[in-house]
Structure 1
Amino acid sequence: MELPDFMSYANKFSQNDFVEKISRVAKRAGSKLVYAALILYYTLQSDKINVKDKAIIIGALGYLISPLDVIPDAIPIVGLTDDLAVLIYVLKKVWSDIDPEVQERAKTKLADWFDEDEISEIGHLFE
């Protein structure tokens, strides 16, 4: 699958919209997508990441929030696959700069929406 120009969605990102979207779609989206989104969201708040990477993260999270993307989110099962692909792509680009504390914070937050069996799926985030 070819990735869309997710950077054109940077203006769609806001913290409130992100929290609302994740809360609303968490169960349907699955633990991998939510974990990837939370890692990027918490990394964006870090002062340990450079401006270029923050811009890429904002584009990816804006793409996630936007109802207008390559595969509309309302389509059952496949509607969020493009969102996950964008998040994983960006995670791979910035992974070496992501603080382990951010990963743990994201994992802890997953417990708000998922049980332990579902959370165990995040161990295979890049698969």
Structure 2
Amino acid sequence: MDDVKIGEILLPGDEAKQERQEKTVLKKFWPTMKKAIRHVPFSRDVVAAFYCATDRNTPLRVRGILLAALGYFVMPIDAIPDMLAFVGFTDDIAVLTTALALINGHIKDAHYDAADLALADKVEAE
């Protein structure tokens, strides 16, 4: 997966596109995360990014980048099928890693706190 493709995936889009992506992410994030949690080495960061992306206090451009990355993560059709376990999540990991690097510093302690609580709940539910 080359940088140009990742750059295209992470375009924040306009507000209407972000709203569509947010609806998709809200609907599909947790079912996808549940399947991926053992394969994504930085699950806490991904969940914190989810909370940052859905936080209305996060700058619009940052929300757009995160929603684009999380939208790619939750979509069933991507460059490498996710059903191939870890290998299937490598392209998702590349997109998420790039997004996290681009928005470095915008994920706040409150987002990590929410991620920790959510992950603890998910682990206890299993």
Give 5+ residue unaligned stretches, structure 2. 12-16
- Secondary structure at the residue paired with 1:92? helix
In the aligned structure 2, how far is the partner of 1:45 from the partner of 1:76?
27
Partner of 2:34: 23
Aligned-pair identity in percent equals 24
Show CA shifts across 1:19-49 (max 9, x none).
Answer: 221123323x2441x2232111100122332
In the alignment, which residue of structure 2 is the partner of 1:58? Answer: 67
TM-aligned CA deviation for residue 91 of structure 1: 0.9
Q: Which runs of 4+ in 1 moved over 6 A?
A: none
What is the count of residue pairs matched by the alignment? Answer: 113
Using a 3 Å threshold, how does the CA distance of structure 1 residues 14 and 97 change in structure 2: closer, same or farther?
A: closer
Partner of 1:123: none
Matches within 5 A, 1:1-127: 1-3=1-3, 4=5, 5-7=8-10, 11=20, 13-27=24-38, 29-32=39-42, 34-113=43-122
Unaligned runs of 5+ in 1: 116-127
Name the aligned partner's letter for residue 9 of structure 2.
F
The TM-score, its normalising length taken from structure 2, stands at: 0.73
Q: TM-score, normalised by structure 1?
A: 0.72
Once the two structures are superposed, residues 83-117 of structure 1 have per-residue CA deviations (whole angstroms, 9 ceiling, x without a partner) of: 111111111111212211212321333334559xx
**2: CA distance, partners of 1:112 / 1:55:** 27
Q: 1:92 to 1:7 in 2, by over 3 A?
A: closer
- CA displacement at 1:52 relative to structure 2: 1.0
The secondary structure found in structure 2 opposite 1:96 is: coil
Counterpart position of 1:122 = none
Distance 2:32 2:96 in 1: 15
SS in 2 for 1:14: helix
* 2:10–2:69 Cα contact (<8 Å) kept: yes
